[in-house]
Structure 1
Amino acid sequence: MQKLKLFPVLALAVFTTALAGCGTTSISPAMTGKSGVKYGADRDGYPTMVEIVFARATPYSESSARACIVRGVEQPVSAPTFTAGVWQVTANGAMHWDGGGVGSLPFRYNLSLTPVNGTTYTFTRMFYANGGVASASPLMASSWWSPQHAYAAMQDVVGRIDECLKADR
Protein backbone atom coordinates (compact mmCIF):
# COMPACT_ATOMS: atom_id res chain seq x y z
CA MET A 1 0.00 0.00 0.00
CA GLN A 2 2.81 2.41 0.85
CA LYS A 3 4.50 1.75 -2.54
CA LEU A 4 1.36 2.86 -4.41
CA LYS A 5 1.34 6.23 -2.63
CA LEU A 6 5.00 6.78 -3.42
CA PHE A 7 4.60 6.16 -7.17
CA PRO A 8 2.70 9.42 -7.98
CA VAL A 9 5.30 11.44 -6.07
CA LEU A 10 8.18 9.79 -7.98
CA ALA A 11 6.38 10.21 -11.31
CA LEU A 12 5.81 13.90 -10.59
CA ALA A 13 9.47 14.38 -9.63
CA VAL A 14 10.69 12.72 -12.84
CA PHE A 15 8.24 14.72 -14.98
CA THR A 16 9.22 18.02 -13.32
CA THR A 17 12.93 17.25 -13.76
CA ALA A 18 12.40 16.50 -17.47
CA LEU A 19 10.51 19.73 -18.02
CA ALA A 20 13.09 21.77 -16.15
CA GLY A 21 15.85 20.40 -18.36
CA CYS A 22 13.87 21.15 -21.50
CA GLY A 23 12.98 24.69 -20.57
CA THR A 24 16.06 25.91 -18.76
CA THR A 25 17.19 29.43 -19.43
CA SER A 26 20.81 28.57 -18.63
CA ILE A 27 23.52 27.73 -21.13
CA SER A 28 24.61 24.11 -20.85
CA PRO A 29 27.64 23.54 -18.60
CA ALA A 30 28.93 21.25 -21.39
CA MET A 31 29.58 24.42 -23.40
CA THR A 32 31.96 25.82 -20.76
CA GLY A 33 35.34 26.46 -22.31
CA LYS A 34 34.10 26.16 -25.90
CA SER A 35 35.70 29.16 -27.57
CA GLY A 36 34.22 31.18 -30.39
CA VAL A 37 30.56 30.71 -29.41
CA LYS A 38 28.18 33.67 -29.36
CA TYR A 39 24.90 33.15 -27.60
CA GLY A 40 21.53 34.78 -27.99
CA ALA A 41 17.98 34.03 -26.90
CA ASP A 42 14.88 32.90 -28.74
CA ARG A 43 11.60 34.80 -28.50
CA ASP A 44 10.81 33.03 -25.20
CA GLY A 45 14.17 33.86 -23.63
CA TYR A 46 15.80 30.43 -23.96
CA PRO A 47 19.51 30.42 -24.86
CA THR A 48 20.50 29.80 -28.48
CA MET A 49 23.76 29.55 -30.39
CA VAL A 50 23.98 32.50 -32.77
CA GLU A 51 27.51 32.11 -34.13
CA ILE A 52 30.39 29.67 -33.78
CA VAL A 53 33.87 30.66 -34.99
CA PHE A 54 36.87 28.38 -35.42
CA ALA A 55 40.32 29.59 -36.47
CA ARG A 56 42.87 27.37 -38.20
CA ALA A 57 46.40 28.21 -39.34
CA THR A 58 45.98 26.66 -42.80
CA PRO A 59 45.29 29.34 -45.43
CA TYR A 60 43.19 28.52 -48.46
CA SER A 61 43.61 29.25 -52.11
CA GLU A 62 40.65 30.07 -54.28
CA SER A 63 41.31 27.00 -56.41
CA SER A 64 41.40 24.45 -53.56
CA ALA A 65 38.81 25.88 -51.20
CA ARG A 66 35.74 25.03 -53.30
CA ALA A 67 36.62 21.34 -53.61
CA CYS A 68 37.54 21.10 -49.93
CA ILE A 69 34.28 22.72 -48.85
CA VAL A 70 32.30 20.29 -50.99
CA ARG A 71 34.21 17.36 -49.45
CA GLY A 72 34.01 18.76 -45.92
CA VAL A 73 30.32 19.53 -45.49
CA GLU A 74 27.95 16.59 -45.18
CA GLN A 75 24.99 17.76 -47.23
CA PRO A 76 25.45 21.03 -49.11
CA VAL A 77 22.16 22.76 -49.85
CA SER A 78 23.78 25.04 -52.38
CA ALA A 79 27.07 25.19 -54.22
CA PRO A 80 29.82 27.14 -52.44
CA THR A 81 30.08 30.75 -53.59
CA PHE A 82 33.12 33.04 -53.58
CA THR A 83 32.57 36.78 -53.10
CA ALA A 84 35.09 39.41 -52.04
CA GLY A 85 37.57 36.82 -50.78
CA VAL A 86 35.02 34.92 -48.68
CA TRP A 87 33.71 31.42 -49.39
CA GLN A 88 30.14 30.65 -48.29
CA VAL A 89 27.95 27.57 -48.29
CA THR A 90 24.66 26.50 -46.76
CA ALA A 91 24.57 22.88 -45.64
CA ASN A 92 22.73 20.35 -43.52
CA GLY A 93 24.43 18.43 -40.76
CA ALA A 94 23.42 16.06 -38.00
CA MET A 95 24.23 15.97 -34.33
CA HIS A 96 23.83 13.36 -31.63
CA TRP A 97 21.00 14.36 -29.30
CA ASP A 98 20.87 13.06 -25.74
CA GLY A 99 17.30 14.21 -25.12
CA GLY A 100 14.01 12.96 -26.51
CA GLY A 101 15.22 9.44 -27.34
CA VAL A 102 15.76 10.39 -30.99
CA GLY A 103 19.52 9.85 -31.15
CA SER A 104 20.23 12.12 -34.11
CA LEU A 105 18.94 15.58 -34.87
CA PRO A 106 19.40 17.31 -38.25
CA PHE A 107 20.30 20.98 -38.47
CA ARG A 108 21.13 23.56 -41.15
CA TYR A 109 23.83 26.22 -41.09
CA ASN A 110 25.64 28.81 -43.18
CA LEU A 111 29.42 28.51 -43.21
CA SER A 112 31.80 31.29 -44.24
CA LEU A 113 35.56 30.87 -44.74
CA THR A 114 37.61 34.05 -44.51
CA PRO A 115 41.38 34.43 -44.94
CA VAL A 116 42.26 35.82 -41.48
CA ASN A 117 45.56 34.51 -40.01
CA GLY A 118 45.06 31.29 -41.94
CA THR A 119 41.37 30.51 -42.27
CA THR A 120 38.49 31.57 -40.04
CA TYR A 121 35.39 29.37 -40.20
CA THR A 122 32.18 31.10 -39.12
CA PHE A 123 28.91 29.19 -38.64
CA THR A 124 25.75 31.33 -38.59
CA ARG A 125 22.02 30.90 -39.23
CA MET A 126 22.01 27.58 -37.35
CA PHE A 127 18.52 26.04 -37.25
CA TYR A 128 17.05 22.62 -36.64
CA ALA A 129 16.10 20.99 -39.94
CA ASN A 130 13.08 18.86 -40.65
CA GLY A 131 13.32 16.79 -43.79
CA GLY A 132 16.31 18.88 -44.91
CA VAL A 133 14.36 22.14 -44.59
CA ALA A 134 15.40 24.66 -41.95
CA SER A 135 12.75 25.30 -39.33
CA ALA A 136 12.19 28.53 -37.46
CA SER A 137 13.81 27.05 -34.36
CA PRO A 138 17.44 28.09 -33.78
CA LEU A 139 19.97 25.70 -32.26
CA MET A 140 19.35 25.79 -28.54
CA ALA A 141 22.16 26.11 -25.99
CA SER A 142 20.51 24.61 -22.89
CA SER A 143 21.56 21.19 -21.58
CA TRP A 144 18.50 19.29 -22.78
CA TRP A 145 19.33 20.08 -26.42
CA SER A 146 22.92 18.72 -26.20
CA PRO A 147 24.56 21.81 -27.76
CA GLN A 148 28.03 20.31 -27.26
CA HIS A 149 27.18 17.74 -29.95
CA ALA A 150 26.21 20.45 -32.47
CA TYR A 151 29.48 22.20 -31.65
CA ALA A 152 31.39 18.92 -32.16
CA ALA A 153 29.63 18.30 -35.50
CA MET A 154 30.68 21.75 -36.74
CA GLN A 155 34.19 21.21 -35.41
CA ASP A 156 34.29 17.98 -37.46
CA VAL A 157 33.30 19.91 -40.61
CA VAL A 158 36.14 22.38 -39.96
CA GLY A 159 38.55 19.48 -39.39
CA ARG A 160 37.64 17.81 -42.69
CA ILE A 161 37.97 21.05 -44.68
CA ASP A 162 41.24 21.97 -42.94
CA GLU A 163 42.75 18.53 -43.61
CA CYS A 164 41.79 18.81 -47.27
CA LEU A 165 43.35 22.28 -47.50
CA LYS A 166 46.58 20.96 -45.92
CA ALA A 167 46.69 18.07 -48.40
CA ASP A 168 46.29 20.47 -51.34
CA ARG A 169 49.25 22.66 -50.30
Structure 2
Amino acid sequence: MRLLGLDPGLQHTGWGIIEAEGNSLRHLGNGSISSDSSLDLAGRLVQLYDGIEKVIGDWQPDEAAVEETFVNKNPVSTLKLGQARGISLLVPALHNVPVTEYAPNKIKKSVVGAGHAGKEQIHAMVNMLLPGCKIQNEHSADALAVAICHAHYAGTKKSLKRATQMAGGKP
Protein backbone atom coordinates (compact mmCIF):
# COMPACT_ATOMS: atom_id res chain seq x y z
CA MET A 1 0.00 0.00 0.00
CA ARG A 2 1.42 3.37 -1.03
CA LEU A 3 0.89 6.06 1.61
CA LEU A 4 1.19 9.84 1.44
CA GLY A 5 1.94 11.75 4.63
CA LEU A 6 1.36 15.51 4.71
CA ASP A 7 2.62 18.02 7.27
CA PRO A 8 0.61 21.14 6.41
CA GLY A 9 1.95 24.65 6.69
CA LEU A 10 1.26 27.84 4.76
CA GLN A 11 4.92 28.58 4.17
CA HIS A 12 6.04 24.93 3.76
CA THR A 13 3.90 21.81 3.44
CA GLY A 14 5.98 18.68 3.85
CA TRP A 15 5.17 15.48 1.99
CA GLY A 16 6.45 11.93 2.27
CA ILE A 17 5.61 8.77 0.34
CA ILE A 18 6.20 5.30 1.74
CA GLU A 19 5.27 1.78 0.73
CA ALA A 20 3.84 -0.40 3.49
CA GLU A 21 3.58 -4.18 3.13
CA GLY A 22 2.78 -5.96 6.37
CA ASN A 23 5.32 -4.70 8.90
CA SER A 24 7.75 -3.64 6.20
CA LEU A 25 8.14 0.04 5.31
CA ARG A 26 10.03 1.43 2.33
CA HIS A 27 10.80 5.07 1.57
CA LEU A 28 9.81 6.20 -1.91
CA GLY A 29 10.11 9.99 -1.84
CA ASN A 30 9.85 13.17 0.22
CA GLY A 31 10.04 16.92 -0.09
CA SER A 32 8.17 20.10 0.64
CA ILE A 33 5.95 22.51 -1.20
CA SER A 34 6.69 26.17 -0.52
CA SER A 35 4.45 29.15 -1.06
CA ASP A 36 5.66 32.60 -2.00
CA SER A 37 5.14 34.93 0.97
CA SER A 38 4.91 37.94 -1.38
CA LEU A 39 1.58 36.59 -2.71
CA ASP A 40 -1.79 37.08 -1.10
CA LEU A 41 -3.30 34.20 0.88
CA ALA A 42 -5.37 32.92 -2.05
CA GLY A 43 -2.31 32.79 -4.31
CA ARG A 44 -0.32 30.93 -1.67
CA LEU A 45 -3.10 28.37 -1.24
CA VAL A 46 -3.14 27.82 -5.02
CA GLN A 47 0.60 27.09 -4.87
CA LEU A 48 0.03 24.48 -2.15
CA TYR A 49 -2.88 23.01 -4.11
CA ASP A 50 -0.79 22.73 -7.28
CA GLY A 51 2.14 21.20 -5.39
CA ILE A 52 0.03 18.51 -3.71
CA GLU A 53 -1.67 17.81 -7.05
CA LYS A 54 1.77 17.16 -8.58
CA VAL A 55 2.82 14.85 -5.72
CA ILE A 56 -0.39 12.83 -6.07
CA GLY A 57 -0.04 12.73 -9.87
CA ASP A 58 3.59 11.61 -9.65
CA TRP A 59 3.19 9.01 -6.88
CA GLN A 60 -0.45 7.80 -7.09
CA PRO A 61 -0.89 7.04 -3.35
CA ASP A 62 -3.55 4.61 -2.15
CA GLU A 63 -4.21 6.54 1.06
CA ALA A 64 -3.19 9.83 2.65
CA ALA A 65 -2.67 11.02 6.22
CA VAL A 66 -2.55 14.61 7.46
CA GLU A 67 -1.32 16.00 10.75
CA GLU A 68 -4.07 17.74 12.72
CA THR A 69 -3.70 21.43 13.50
CA PHE A 70 -1.65 22.33 16.51
CA VAL A 71 -3.30 25.36 18.11
CA ASN A 72 -0.94 28.33 18.24
CA LYS A 73 -1.11 31.23 20.67
CA ASN A 74 -1.60 33.52 17.67
CA PRO A 75 -5.16 33.06 16.31
CA VAL A 76 -4.26 34.56 12.91
CA SER A 77 -1.45 31.99 12.47
CA THR A 78 -3.79 29.20 13.55
CA LEU A 79 -6.37 30.29 11.00
CA LYS A 80 -3.80 30.38 8.17
CA LEU A 81 -2.52 26.94 9.17
CA GLY A 82 -6.10 25.68 9.13
CA GLN A 83 -6.52 26.93 5.58
CA ALA A 84 -3.32 25.16 4.49
CA ARG A 85 -4.64 22.01 6.21
CA GLY A 86 -7.86 22.38 4.25
CA ILE A 87 -5.88 22.20 1.01
CA SER A 88 -4.01 19.14 2.35
CA LEU A 89 -7.34 17.41 3.01
CA LEU A 90 -9.06 18.58 -0.16
CA VAL A 91 -6.58 17.57 -2.86
CA PRO A 92 -6.34 13.85 -1.98
CA ALA A 93 -10.12 13.72 -1.49
CA LEU A 94 -10.63 15.15 -4.99
CA HIS A 95 -8.56 12.21 -6.29
CA ASN A 96 -10.67 9.71 -4.28
CA VAL A 97 -7.70 9.00 -2.02
CA PRO A 98 -8.96 8.23 1.52
CA VAL A 99 -7.61 10.73 4.05
CA THR A 100 -7.04 10.13 7.77
CA GLU A 101 -6.03 12.76 10.31
CA TYR A 102 -3.70 12.21 13.27
CA ALA A 103 -2.95 14.37 16.30
CA PRO A 104 0.72 15.37 16.71
CA ASN A 105 1.05 13.38 19.98
CA LYS A 106 -0.36 10.24 18.32
CA ILE A 107 2.20 10.58 15.50
CA LYS A 108 5.05 11.02 17.97
CA LYS A 109 3.90 8.08 20.10
CA SER A 110 3.55 5.88 17.01
CA VAL A 111 7.00 6.71 15.64
CA VAL A 112 9.07 7.24 18.79
CA GLY A 113 7.02 5.63 21.54
CA ALA A 114 6.55 8.89 23.47
CA GLY A 115 3.86 11.47 22.79
CA HIS A 116 6.08 14.39 23.73
CA ALA A 117 9.18 13.43 21.74
CA GLY A 118 11.34 16.21 20.29
CA LYS A 119 11.86 16.82 16.58
CA GLU A 120 15.38 15.36 16.75
CA GLN A 121 14.04 12.08 18.17
CA ILE A 122 11.35 11.90 15.49
CA HIS A 123 13.81 12.52 12.68
CA ALA A 124 16.24 9.94 14.07
CA MET A 125 13.48 7.31 14.23
CA VAL A 126 12.29 8.15 10.70
CA ASN A 127 15.87 7.52 9.51
CA MET A 128 15.96 4.25 11.47
CA LEU A 129 12.56 3.03 10.20
CA LEU A 130 13.32 4.02 6.59
CA PRO A 131 16.97 2.99 6.05
CA GLY A 132 18.76 4.82 3.25
CA CYS A 133 16.17 7.60 3.23
CA LYS A 134 17.59 11.02 2.40
CA ILE A 135 15.28 13.45 4.17
CA GLN A 136 14.99 16.73 2.29
CA ASN A 137 14.14 18.97 5.29
CA GLU A 138 12.32 19.09 8.64
CA HIS A 139 8.91 19.44 6.95
CA SER A 140 9.39 16.30 4.86
CA ALA A 141 10.70 14.43 7.93
CA ASP A 142 7.50 15.31 9.76
CA ALA A 143 5.44 14.22 6.75
CA LEU A 144 7.24 10.87 6.66
CA ALA A 145 6.43 10.46 10.37
CA VAL A 146 2.74 11.06 9.54
CA ALA A 147 2.92 8.37 6.82
CA ILE A 148 4.64 5.92 9.20
CA CYS A 149 1.98 6.56 11.85
CA HIS A 150 -0.72 5.88 9.27
CA ALA A 151 1.00 2.67 8.17
CA HIS A 152 0.86 1.41 11.77
CA TYR A 153 -2.78 2.33 12.34
CA ALA A 154 -4.06 1.45 8.86
CA GLY A 155 -2.54 -2.03 9.14
CA THR A 156 -4.16 -2.59 12.52
CA LYS A 157 -7.50 -1.31 11.24
CA LYS A 158 -7.41 -3.68 8.25
CA SER A 159 -6.47 -6.65 10.45
CA LEU A 160 -9.38 -5.92 12.80
CA LYS A 161 -11.78 -5.59 9.87
CA ARG A 162 -10.65 -8.95 8.44
CA ALA A 163 -10.93 -10.65 11.83
CA THR A 164 -14.43 -9.22 12.35
CA GLN A 165 -15.53 -10.41 8.90
CA MET A 166 -14.13 -13.89 9.51
CA ALA A 167 -15.94 -14.08 12.84
CA GLY A 168 -19.21 -13.30 11.07
CA GLY A 169 -19.52 -9.75 12.33
CA LYS A 170 -20.28 -6.70 10.28
CA PRO A 171 -17.31 -5.10 8.44
Asked whether the two chains share a fold, i.e. TM above 0.5, the reply is no
- The higher radius of gyration belongs to 1
Q: Could you say which structure has the higher helix fraction?
A: 2
TM-score, normalisation: structure 2? 0.26
Q: Could you say which structure has the higher strand fraction?
A: 1
TM-score, normalisation: structure 1? 0.26
